[in-house]
Chain A
């Protein structure tokens, strides 16, 4: 299988820098993690203050930031300075340790998820930190830690809107995590492995050849039904329209993040964007063939970036176009619709795979 033949990123660094022994492995792993983490954070840096504004503006017939630097790009440092320079307002009666920890957990949990994501190669470097045998289960485990952060923030803020937001977040995550994972399991049945590289590897084969074009066996093509289910559940999981109800500014004024300002607010926003990108990464790995794409394997990383940004664009499109569902409707869709459909998909997949294989 393709990806396993290439060295993982930490091993590559250890070899290149000649770091020996266990200590060398640790240092190399830290360097590699820092590089990957910063790449993801750079994405969010571009996405939050700049790309999001530009995309929304394009959807709504506006221009958005264009005064600061070329294409308004310097708004990124400007916004960073502005946000960090603001006063951190600590409301009376907040539950201190948890109120402070919550904004850290959200980006941390999302960043952890990237530890097992095979982000593809760029030249000799393979942006893949670790490839444990249960990597696929691990990434969902990491991603779902986020709801703890939302509950903590909602509860600790001592604000009724925050509390409502926290409650909504739990209800929503429970209702959508299960269909999400059950749908993902159908992919595992196809691939026969929980290892990320294995799942990506299984999608590199050719499904059919139409007029000279090889259509790869991406699971989005193999099982489009599961793809749509997964995409929907994923939108709910990361809390984007039409499922942005834990925040719902026009209803509950921002929900769990109502009371956060300055650096804590930045952390929350960072966490949300990293979460969107993690959602995109999971989607890419599970259904869109990971880093595969036309051209040599050594530019796979570029394809991967294109795919997660494509997902980001999709979330922004949904935000500009779709109404928000109501909390009770969301729960109904989750438990009565998605759950049933995802189990049906799982059983069908198991039967088909069992009969054919």
Chain B
């Protein structure tokens, strides 16, 4: 520690060495188990809240990224990956082993609201019980599911037969008693504005929302399990494309690439990093264009011209991505150690096509500003609706445009830099409004920033000497990271912090592969925004969260 005592606010931002953290936690620490990305402290399962609130309040770890749970031969384990919103490179992992026969662990929900869903997922898939959890139910699987599919003793041949009372139709539920005059309304799973199969259980008082609860899992495809059954080198990379499938494919692939490359200590050539950066930002534009388009759909109604205009612009980026990767949706373009192939020939044609797109983009963005953001009715609808205060956003682990729309200046591209971002000149867009309007403005601003990044990448790529165009480093055919190495790495996806936790066990497949989906955490904030508002505002708030159910449910 430095000599002059900083006051408490600076105290939180202060970077502490692992030993200082251990000293802070004192007796709470049972053991050390460092991860590649962060020091790891093993604590007793009944001291979770104490430890986490100590770290949150005394050391400033205010961002619970994700809770990864897994089962070992002799124990269960929940890992709380903590970070700081001010500096996400300061990380710490809190490891909570639980008894094999009676896996009970204290819930972190009272300290971090976001732990609610994360622990429900751990309970659902692994089978760890969380004490003091407000609502420990299954979250991804049906309520009647038998067993915990990622537990070791799970019998996958067991028939999933549920008795009739257990299989009560949730759609029959009526929230009515003699006192209240509220109405229960199911929004979804099939509804024009849920952007996929999402089910919102809403309690209405007239048109006002009293309570809303998201019911997710309709699109759960066992992505984590599938990744655990694939080899690091080639078999996992196609899966990330299928999480956030709204053309954010390359951003997702980068999440896996970053985690696996750091795990296996693979270098990526600079040239490949530039191509990655360019491709990823193209994906971001495409994803934000769709977010803008569907938000216009939610607020303006179907048949709005804005929707088609934005889809049109997205189409241009898609063409570029198709030229680059050979695919329109499931790119599978990144490889560990680089990218699969170089820019398309003739290169000049690709460059000029990209430049044409970048030239017309500011005009398009201005047109959207004319069409929607400067429209008085649109402002009436979106300003001061769906309020998400910054403290609440942090408590829920919100990231990406959702957090930045609430003034939380958090962008992993800058704060935990990877790829070629720190060499380029661009800005992080934040808005202070905390409302639906701000979140839209952030996305529109980010489209322009992405265009700046792409332009600089193009300049670099154009002048790159022909004999130094190294698109992949030498990577062994089979990767076998050392036994018991663990890593959590995140990138800035289209929707926020997309992280991957991998535990290696010495084989060529990960022993545990956990996906930290930004949409999963962002969607949790919906009740905070929606309660007390009108139905149209709930729809607008949901649209402004820009969730993709493929990523929420994985």
Task: Report which A residues bind B (CB closer than 8 A).
Answer: 56, 59-62, 160-161, 164, 241-242, 244-245, 248-253, 319-329
CA distance in complex: A323, B371 (Å):
9
Supply 8 A–B pairs (Cβ within 8 Å), ascending by A: A60-B309, A160-B185, A241-B301, A251-B539, A321-B304, A323-B296, A323-B375, A324-B300
Contact (A62, B308) CB under 8 Å given A251-B536, A323-B381, A326-B534:
yes
Residue pair B309, A242 in contact (C-beta under 8 Å) = no
Interfacial chain B residues near A320, Cβ < 8 Å: 303-305
Residues of B within 8 A of A248 (CB): 301, 536
Given contacts A250-B298, A251-B536, contact A242 B305 (CB under 8 A): no
Q: Say whether B299 faces chain A, with CB atoms less than 8 Å apart.
A: yes
The answer, among A62, A160, A319, A326, for a CB contact under 8 Å with B301, is A319
Residues in B with CB closer than 8 Å to A321 are 304-305, 371
Given contacts A242-B377, A319-B301, A323-B300, 20 further A-B contacts (CB under 8 A): A61-B312, A160-B183, A248-B536, A249-B192, A250-B298, A252-B535, A320-B303, A321-B305, A322-B300, A322-B375, A323-B299, A323-B304, A323-B377, A324-B381, A325-B377, A325-B381, A326-B536, A326-B537, A328-B207, A328-B534
CB contact list, B524-554 vs A, under 8 A: 534-537, 539
B372 within 8 A of A: yes
B1 at the A/B interface (Cβ < 8 Å)?
no
Residues of chain B contacted by A62 (CB below 8 angstroms): 308
Report Cα–Cα, A327/B537, bound state, in Å: 11
Q: Which residues of A contact B16 (CB under 8 A)?
A: none
Q: Is the CB of B207 within 8 A of A324?
A: no
Per-position binary interface string of chain B over residues 359-402, scored 1 when its CB falls under 8 Å from any chain A CB and 0 otherwise: 00000000000011001011011000000000000000000000
B305 lies within 8 A of A250 (CB)? no
Sorted from nearest, which 8 A-B pairs have the closest CB atoms? A60-B308, A320-B305, A250-B193, A323-B378, A323-B300, A323-B377, A60-B305, A326-B536
Nearest-CB residue, chain B, relative to A60: B308
- Chain A: minimal CB distance from B344 (Å): 27
| A327: B residues at CB distance < 8 A | 207, 534, 536
Task: Give, as a whole number of angstroms, the nearest-CB distance from B474 to chain A.
Answer: 48
Q: Tell me the bound Cα distance from A192 to B191 in angstroms.
A: 51
Asked if B348 is an interface residue, CB under 8 A from chain A, the answer is no
Residues of B within 8 A of A242 (CB): 377
Is B307 at the interface (CB under 8 A from chain A)? Answer: yes
Asked whether any CB of chain A lies closer than 8 Å to the CB of B198, the reply is: no
In contact, A324 and B308 (Cβ under 8 angstroms): no
Chain A residues positioned under 8 Å from B213 (CB to CB): none
**B297: CB under 8 A from chain A?**
yes
Contact mask for chain B residues 205-238; partner A; CB cutoff 8 A; 1 contact, 0 none: 0010000000000000000000000000000000
Q: Least Cβ distance of A78 to chain B in Å? A: 21
Contacts of B377 in A (CB 8 A): 242, 322-325
* B183: chain A residues within 8 A (beta carbon): 160
| A164-B375 contact in complex given A248-B536, A250-B193, A251-B536, C-beta closer than 8 Å | no
Report the minimum CB–CB distance from A162 to chain B (whole Å): 12
- Shortest beta-carbon distance, A323 to chain B, in Å? 4
Q: A66: shortest Cβ distance to chain B, in Å?
A: 17
Q: How far, in whole Å, are A324 and B377 apart by their CA atoms in the complex?
A: 7
Bound complex: CA A322 to CA B305 (Å) = 9
A253→B191 contact, CB < 8 A: yes
